[in-house]
Structures are given as C-alpha cells and as structure tokens.
Amino acid sequence: MTARRPRRAPPPAEGQLLDWSDRRHWARVQAPCRYCRTPTFLRDDDNLPADKVCAEKALQQRAERATAAYQNGQL
C-alpha cells in the first residue's frame, strides 16, 4: 500500500491574496475580527480572527506602504 500525497491547494485566483480553502483558516467558535470587530469563524495566517475581506485589505495596504517606502529610499 502506498502513502497518499496530501492534496495541494490551487494557487490564489487573480486579485485574491490569501488561500482561504485550507481548514486551518476556520475555527469552531466565533471571535471578533481583529480589524472590524464583527464576529467571524475565519482565522488569518497568524491564527487570529479576521474576516476574509478585512485580512486581504490589510495585507494589500501593507504591501502598498512597503512599496512606497522602498521607492522613496526609506528601506
């Protein structure tokens, strides 16, 4: 009998920053989103409660700030 290989998640779709299909992003109990404070079952990559839209928006803003800092020679 051969060992089964774990199923690999497809890459994120265009405009999608994170892969939310993994079970690790779901919790059994709701907790307030770390950004908007509304209850959510979702968890981000740091296992903190975060809505999908809020987490992706924060990640995009962080990337934009880093890009701007790099272009201005601040990094």
pTM above 0.75, yes or no: no
Judge whether residue 12 has pLDDT over 70. Answer: no
Nearest residue to 50 via CA among 32, 63, 27: 32
Alpha-carbon separation of residue 54 from 1, 16, 65, 71 (angstroms): 44, 12, 16, 26
- pLDDT level of residue 21 (50, 70, 90 thresholds): confident
The rounded Cα 25 to chain-centroid distance in angstroms is 8
Would you state the pLDDT for residue 43? 93
Would you state the pLDDT for residue 40? 96
